[in-house]
Amino acid sequence: MTTRSVFAYAAHRIRRHPAGEITLTARCLAPGCRWELDATSDLAAGDEACMAHTGLNPGHDTFERTWSEVSLVTRLDRRDKLPEAE
Ligand SMILES: [Zn+2]
């Protein structure tokens, strides 16, 4: 390892992968209920599924919902360098 590699610094950016999409999963938190929503990229349909579950099962009105995405980290070139921290 050289001294140069020890002190090398490169700024990076993280963002949603351009080929990726946000997906939603959910599960009902009512005691004893095993209802779960499989991962979907149709977020409105996911919301509808939760509301439909509540409509069919009064009292099942609390859900754990998780949104997920694929992220991409890219190294910035000199033109895109982040401003220095103050
Ligand atoms: Zn339920």
Structure tokens that stand for 55 in this block: 């409509």
Determine the distance separating the centroid of ligand 1 and the alpha carbon of 36, expressed in angstroms.
Answer: 8
Residues linked to residue 13 through DSSP beta bridges, in sequence order: 74
- What are the backbone dihedrals phi and psi of residue 47, each rounded to the nearest 5 degrees, phi first? -60, -45
Q: What is the pLDDT of residues 35-60, one digit of tens each?
A: 999 999 999 999 999 999 999 999 99
What residues make up the domain containing 75?
20-80
- Residue 69 Cα to ligand 1 midpoint, Å, equals 26
- Is residue 85 predicted with pLDDT exceeding 80? no
Give domain status of residue 32, yes or no.
yes
Asked if residue 15 is part of any domain, the answer here is no
For the chain, the domain total comes to 1
